[in-house]
Structure formats: C-alpha cells, structure tokens
Amino acid sequence: MNVSQSNLNNSVLKAFDLLEHFHPDKPAWGVRELAQHIGANKSTIYRLLATLEHIGVLQQHPETEKYSLGLKLFELGHRVGIQSALVNKTHDILEEVTKEITENVHLGILQSNEVLVVDKVDSPKGLKLNFQLGSRSPLHCTSMGKTLLAFAEKQEEIIEELDLFSKTPYSLTQKMGLIAALNQIRKDGFALDREEYELGLICLGVPVFNQNGKAIAALSASGPANRFREEALKDYVAILQKGASAIQQKIGNFQIKF
Amino acid sequence: MNVSQSNLNNSVLKAFDLLEHFHPDKPAWGVRELAQHIGANKSTIYRLLATLEHIGVLQQHPETEKYSLGLKLFELGHRVGIQSALVNKTHDILEEVTKEITENVHLGILQSNEVLVVDKVDSPKGLKLNFQLGSRSPLHCTSMGKTLLAFAEKQEEIIEELDLFSKTPYSLTQKMGLIAALNQIRKDGFALDREEYELGLICLGVPVFNQNGKAIAALSASGPANRFREEALKDYVAILQKGASAIQQKIGNFQIKF
DNA sequence: AACAGTGTTTCAAATAATGAAACGACTATA
DNA sequence: TATAGTCGTTTCATTATTTGAAACACTGTT
C-alpha cells in the first residue's frame, strides 16, 4: 500500500482509497478481510476504519462488526449537488422534460471514462429499471455515454482506454463500429441505445453544451422498448434538445473537471 | 488544530474536519482564507486541499482557484443511500404516501441532535419550499424533529443540549413548553408543526419504529398552510401512519448509530 | 481443551506531517 | 513604473505520527 506521491497527504489518500472499496457489490467489510484485499497491515486498516467510524463516515454494524458507509458521507455527498451549478440550477428543467416525455430522465457527465449520473427525475409511470443517482455506467453501451464520447475533445484517447465489453448481444464491442456510431451521433445530434445496455431498455441521449460550445453533459430519456416506438423518437429528441438548450442558458460558461 | 485522540488517524480527522467547512453558506474556500478560519498553518491546509482535489473529493475552480466539494464525494455519498436498508428498501413506500397525500414527504433520522433528511419524494404540486436530501434541521421546531425527540430514549439529555432558538414567532423556545408538546405528541402518535420552522409552512410527522419498538426515523408530510386544513389532518395522519408501519415491516430490526 | 476466527492494543522503528520563510505570479495603489 | 499587497505553491530541517509484528481479549467450533 504505497500511495506516496509528490506532496500529497498519504493518510488521506489511503482513507479515500479504503472508501472506494465500499461499493454496492461489496458494501460491508471486516478489518482483516479488507486489509488482505488491499494488501496492507491489519493494524493500519483497523485504525483507518476506526477513525472513519468515529466521525460517521463509516458505521460499524452492531452485530456483525463489519463496517459500511455512514451518514456523514451521505450528508457531505448531497451537499455537492446542492452547491453544484449544474445540478442545482437545472433540476427544474429535468422535471419539465420528464413531464413532456413521461419517461425517466437523466443528466450525466463524463468522468474517468464513465458516465456519472448527476441528476435524474423518475417518470410518473411505474417500471424503474434505471440508473441510480451517483452511479457510473459504461460509455460504449449507453446513450449518455455515446453522446458524451461523440462530442468529447479527447475522443480517440478515451476510446483506446475503453473496454468494449458485451453487456447485451446488442452492445457495440468493436472499435470500428463504435467510431462509426459516434460519427453518426455527431451528425444526428442525438444517440440511441437500443438494448445495448440492458435487454428491453431503450435510451435516447442528447448533448448539453456550455456557452463555449463544449459538451459538458448528456441528457437522456429511457424506458421499456415497447414505449420507444420509431414514430415517437423524433418528438422525444426535440423535447430533450429543448431541455438541453434550456440548461445551456442556465449554466453559462460552466466547466467541469475531468 | 490539535485533533489528536486515542489511536485515530490525525490526518484523516483533519481532512474531514476541513470538508465540514464546505457548507451551503460558504461553499468555496481559498487556502489562506480557510487556514485562517481554522487556525492552522496555510501549508498544512494547502496540502490537505491539494490531496483532496487530486482524488476528486474537492475541485478547484479554474479561475478563482478556490476549492469546493467535488464529484467523488457526490458519488460516495449517493452510495450510502443505495446501500442503506432504511432508504433503499423504503423509497417506494414514500412514493405511495406522496401519491395519497399529494404533499412533499420526507424521511428523517435523529443525528447529532438534529434531523437528517435521508429520503424524500416531492409532491406533484408545485411549491417546493422544503428540506433538501442530506440537509439537517433543528429538532425543536420541525415535525420530524419533535417526533424523534418525543420518542427518543435519551430525550432529557438531548433537550438539555438543545438551543431552542426562535426560527419564527411560533417556534417553541421554552423548555417547559417543548416538554409539554412532546408529551402530547407521544399521546397523539403524531407531531404538528404550524409555521414553527417557516412562516406559511405546515408539517405533520409520525414516528417510524423498528421491530424492537425503537423509534428510528420520522416520516413527514409538509406543504403550504392553506392546504393543511384542520379537517384534512386526520386523514393525513392515517396515511402517514400506514406508511410508517409499512416501513417497519420492510426494515425489520434495523438499527442506526447516533 | 485446543483451535481458528474475529476486532483491538502495544511499542520501538520508520516514515510522514509540520510550519516559517521564500517563491513566483498576480492585482491594485502610489 | 515602481511598490505593496494579494494569492497559491514549494522548500527543508524539526517534530510528531504512522507503521507493523506480535500479543491480547473475545467468540464460536472442533
């Protein structure tokens, strides 16, 4: 566990490295278990866990004694959205778009070669097989991902680093095919995901530009395949694009660090 | 800045102490500014900020060079809700309650002598003067707060520590009056906040018990005073209580660390 | 009773954090 | 143009903290 780097605070780096290991697939860890997984001494891990538990960033289950993410993190994490110009100022626009399309609407940004969902509004209709706020999704098989990639400045670099795994039989797994799709998306001004991410799920995405013309986010609508008929798509694209330009006007020259 | 304590990791404590200073009233800090405010050396603060920025927990505004909360925190914070039994399993119940009452519905827990809002569903009606997810509100002048306090195990201790400040002319600012109100709430099984927190805003709260009979959360509905007429309250209480017992059944023997 | 699991504590040795001062790059004032 | 006042950032010897092997206390199992 040698995280040492320039002038950065080692303990802080290690603490957040620890927190990364608490994800939905493995939300609770014991001391030895986590120490072994990371390859660090159990005393070190114990003290880090105890520290994080002390301030509420982690909580220890009273019976199992395992640690999981705590409410302090919940609180701090939600402050980000409240304080972020992108999320805070534009939530109302997402609600309007949702009302018009009556499907789940998401706002996502490009981060670490994935889509990070930064805001969403659920459709009044039932059926909620969709993306969680704060979750990450792959770039190559989602409408938001392909949109962001199509308008990304470092598109080629990013594609080189991607793992074009097959999420469904419809996923684009070939570099050439992906690049062709991206070119088409740039021409069309929208991206379509026909069950590339999940069978039965169709997503439609459009880019959100800032006032310098840089694509800083993607806006998408998603729902079950039977509700996304060919004839409806054109209307949906128009509604999404209207929402995207409304966002553009609200945020001005907003920038996001990738 | 002497945070040293037992065996805990000093740097980690300091890092999270820093993060606490980034709240909605002061979301962006410069190095010197924050160092002076905390009373620490600017080099120390600089390195902590740089470390947190390096991993995305903070982000530095490209122009002002000031730091603010970053997307890594957003991501981690939202994992808590996804992984939490209380929030994850019960969101659908909140949606049903919202549909029936057609007012904003909140789920809150007692934490550090405040109410922490851990889930919410917005009313389809407009008007959104309400509590943000992840925000904290005082115990003595909110329906959720009074509910949690009325059924709290360490009620007396907590009341001693409270600052019964006057948020509106209707806030309960006297210890005796608060205790009387709490006794009534325990008898009634619900708490009413008539503009005690904000003028024009009425909230109704009921306790959520776990299967050991411990009040672990409060469920509330809130809206403008003109929509909370006397004759409607009884129905609202019944709907909220139905929701609260539905939550109780879902979460079983759930515990929260305060 | 011995064993194999936990999480936790100990203490000298190794390492990393600290802070006064200097640096470079700005901006506003004289 | 100087000069003074900002800002974030870097330096380096001093200081304080983190580290890890081993021991501890506790649990449930063989």
Question: Which of helix, strand or coil describes residue A54?
Answer: helix
Q: Is residue B150 domain-shared with residue B174, that is, in the same domain?
A: yes
Q: Is residue A43 domain-shared with residue A138, that is, in the same domain?
A: no
In window 1-40 of B, residues with CB < 7 A from nucleic chain C are 1, 7, 10-11, 14, 40
Asked, for residue B258, whether it belongs to a domain, the answer is: no
Q: Is residue A68 domain-shared with residue A88, that is, in the same domain?
A: no
Q: What is the pLDDT of residues A168-225, one digit of tens each?
A: 999 999 999 999 999 999 999 999 999 999 999 999 999 999 888 889 999 999 999 8
Is pLDDT above 80 for A70? yes
In chain B, the number of structural domains is 2
CA count, 13 A, side-chain hemisphere, B253: 4
Q: What is the pLDDT of residues B184-232, one digit of tens each?
A: 999 999 999 999 999 999 999 999 998 888 899 999 999 998 888 888 8
Residues B60-88 have a mean pLDDT of: 87
Residue B101: the pLDDT is 94
Residue A129: the pLDDT is 65
Q: Is residue B125 domain-shared with residue B200, that is, in the same domain?
A: yes
Assign B177 a pLDDT band (cuts: 50, 70, 90).
very high
Is pLDDT above 60 for B258? no
Domain end among B35, B50, B74: B74
Assign A125 a pLDDT band (cuts: 50, 70, 90).
confident
Residue B107: the pLDDT is 96
Mean predicted lDDT score pLDDT of chain A: 90
Distance in angstroms (rounded) separating the CA atoms of residues A106 and A120: 4
Please give the residue range of the domain that contains residue A23: 10-74
Q: Do B72 and A16 touch (CB under 8 A)?
A: yes
Residue A124: the pLDDT is 76
Domain end among A56, A74, A92: A74
Q: Is residue A165 domain-shared with residue A190, that is, in the same domain?
A: yes
Residue B3: the pLDDT is 33
Q: Is residue A144 domain-shared with residue A240, that is, in the same domain?
A: yes
Query: Could you tell me which residues come within 8 angstroms of residue A72 by beta carbon, excluding any fewer than 6 positions away?
Result: A55, A56, A57, B16
Q: Do A257 and B60 touch (CB under 8 A)?
A: yes
Residues B175-189 have a mean pLDDT of: 97
Q: Is residue B41 domain-shared with residue B163, that is, in the same domain?
A: no
Question: End-to-end CA distance of chain A, in Å?
Answer: 25
Distance in angstroms (rounded) separating the CA atoms of residues A164 and A127: 28
Question: 3-state secondary structure string, chain B?
Answer: CCCCCCCCCHHHHHHHHHHHCCECCECCECHHHHHHHHCCCHHHHHHHHHHHHHCCCEEECCCCCCEEECHHHHHHHHHHHHHCHHHHCCHHHHHHHHHHHCCEEEEEEEECCEEEEEEEECCCCCCCCCCCCCCEEECCCCHHHHHHHHCCCCHHHHHHHCCCCCCCCCCCCCHHHHHHHHHHHHHHCCEEEECCCCCCEEEEEEEEECCCCCEEEEEEEEEEHHHCCHHHHHHHHHHHHHHHHHHHHHHCCCCCCC
CATH label of the domain that carries residue A152: 3.30.450.40
Mean predicted lDDT score pLDDT of chain B: 90
- Distance of A52 CA from D18 C1′ (whole Å): 16
Q: What is the pLDDT of residues A8-55, one digit of tens each?
A: 899 999 999 999 999 988 999 999 999 999 989 999 999 999 999 999
Assign A2 a pLDDT band (cuts: 50, 70, 90).
very low
Q: What percent of chain A has pLDDT over 90?
A: 72
Residues A154-177 have a mean pLDDT of: 96
Footprint of strand D on the protein (CB under 7 A): A 1, 7, 10-11, 14, 40-44, 47-48; B 4, 9-12, 30-33, 42-43, 46-47, 49-50, 60, 65-66
According to DSSP, residue A164 is labeled -
Residue B1: the pLDDT is 34
B chain contacts of residue A118, beta-carbon cutoff 8 Å: 71, 74
Is pLDDT above 80 for B23? yes
Q: Is residue B179 domain-shared with residue B114, that is, in the same domain?
A: yes
Strand pairing of B58-60 and A215-224?
Answer: unpaired
Residue B256: the pLDDT is 55
Which contacts (CB < 8 Å, 24+ apart) does range A199-203 have? A199/A168, A200/A129, A200/A224, A200/A225, A201/A129, A201/A130, A201/A225, A202/A228, A203/A142, A203/A143, A203/A144
Residue B253: the pLDDT is 63
Q: Do B109 and A71 touch (CB under 8 A)?
A: yes
* Tally of CB atoms within 10 A around B210: 18
Mutation pick from B8, B19, B75 vs chain A, by most beta carbons of A within 10 Å, is: B75
Residue A255: the pLDDT is 61
Chain A residue at shortest CA distance from B26 = A83
Distance in angstroms (rounded) separating the CA atoms of residues A155 and A150: 7
B chain contacts of residue A50, beta-carbon cutoff 8 Å: 7-8
Residue B228: the pLDDT is 87
Distance in angstroms (rounded) separating the CA atoms of residues A138 and A97: 24
A chain contacts of residue B73, beta-carbon cutoff 8 Å: 73, 76-77, 79-80
Residues A250-258 have a mean pLDDT of: 63
Question: Which of helix, strand or coil describes residue A233?
Answer: helix
Q: Is residue A62 domain-shared with residue A103, that is, in the same domain?
A: no
B chain contacts of residue A136, beta-carbon cutoff 8 Å: 75
Q: Is residue B112 domain-shared with residue B224, that is, in the same domain?
A: yes
Domain end among B74, B105, B130: B74
Q: Is residue B70 domain-shared with residue B22, that is, in the same domain?
A: yes
Residues B153-180 have a mean pLDDT of: 96
Q: Is residue B139 domain-shared with residue B209, that is, in the same domain?
A: yes
Higher pLDDT, A64 or B220: B220
Residues A107-134 have a mean pLDDT of: 86
Class of residue A35 by CB neighbours under 10 A (exposed 0-12, middle 13-18, buried 19+): buried
Nearest CA-CA distance, residue A112 and chain B, Å: 10
Residue B183: the pLDDT is 97
Residues B8-27 have a mean pLDDT of: 92
Chain A residue at shortest CA distance from B109 = A71
